[in-house]
A and B are shown apart, each in its own frame.
Chain A
């Protein structure tokens, strides 16, 4: 299995790494660290491709408890706004203030320095099974590309 699922939107090539889990509808990724038991959270490149360049990011403070599907912050792209929806439940233990100061980092270094928060999951075992795993990744990406195109969110 490839380490990365690649796809094209127009002439641009995007990637979705296979080393993490993805929210089925919200395009947030979660990378679980088995040593610390914490999960780093970010937004994937398909979600970002549909939003465009981020202009503003706000994140809830460290110590906030969030439920899966609840907002962990907000985003503002050039021409739209939205919630950053948590793909898992737990407590925010760290947030990436670099992305608040420079939201372009989320677009430019999506899977590395563009992470948003670190969450101490309250039920990783159960909730990770509801996310998209490496096995489902190719079919999910294909289906999501169709859905996004039907919505007119990407070309």
Chain B
């Protein structure tokens, strides 16, 4: 029988667990000088941290590189494709403080995985970061399944001003298939919404965000209805582009065509910023976008700004988007899915070509 062994270079990481150790996104590691490298056309203004346990994550989301039942060992797995290097929490906190002294760090985000230690350890990670960098805004990307009102209040008392929740699936059916009971995972749609609304009540309007993955099998109608609901409840929606992770259950699921992603980005922006009415959108029998009835001036203004096509992310202390996740869901050699900077006029030209809006725009 083949024997599975962990490479020597990675064995130490089995014992370097949170809260004393934490993973950091590659872009943030580059930004803090922990890893060599450059980020093409962008900087990384949000330091994203992820808890580390030998078991990875006890949830079982079909698209995630940290899934419990994903083939391979947890240390082989990657979160959003590029490896997240592991460092001591204190070292990262020191680097954040050093960077703060030179130039403001936009934000720090501490992400939970599904683990019984995750709540307590997240509080300790936040405490250590704020000890060294008391002014830096901190967001918590939480696992709703682990939380209740008391725990949300503790997180708020620790200085966290924004809560992120990975809803990921746009409907209950998609959620159950990708994250819930059909995956033998612990997550429940209704409980996620209970926590989202509880967090919205405790943290205030637009200080709670839902992550939504485009490309898990949902229709355009599902997405736009969700955007309308989020707008009405003053909850932020952050789009992510599905990008199949090798070794996961969805590794063979194709990515969404770029035209669809662009149209979804645009209509989300119109709903959020121009109060686009549901009546302006017509669907085909399958729930796909058939016609968009919006004034040309509105479309031109929105598209030419480039803003609909930027990464959705938490703001810095001045209200400017900080969490731009450069090349987080596509390779740097591929076309941008979300732009980690304001698209230039040339970028907008490319976006217009990709979007093929004339096919659905009702003049």
Interface residues in chain A, defined as those with a beta carbon under 8 Å from any beta carbon in chain B:
9-10, 12, 48-53, 55-56, 74, 76-81, 153-155
Contacts and interface: CB of A to CB of B under 8 A. Distances in A.
Nearest to B35: A52
Main SS class of interface, B: loop
B37 A52 contact: yes
A9 B40 CA distance: 20
Interface in B187-236: none
A50 B37 contact: yes
B82 A55 contact: yes
Given A52-B30, A55-B82, A76 B36 contact: no
Contacts of B331: 55-56, 76
Interface residues of B, number: 16
21 contacts: A50-B36, A51-B36, A51-B38, A52-B26, A52-B38, A53-B36, A55-B331, A56-B331, A56-B333, A76-B332, A78-B30, A79-B38, A79-B82, A79-B327, A80-B37, A80-B38, A80-B39, A80-B332, A81-B333, A153-B38, A154-B36
Nearest to A74: B333
Main SS class of interface, A: mixed
B106 interface: no
A52 B40 contact: no
Contacts of A155: 33
Contacts of A49: 36
Contacts of A9: 36
Contacts of B327: 78-79
A74 B331 CA distance: 14
Contacts of B35: 52-53
A73 B36 CA distance: 22
B105 interface: no
Q: Which of A48, A49, A51, A80 has the most CB of B within 10 A?
A: A80
Nearest to B31: A79
Contact of B26 (A10, A48, A76, A79): A79
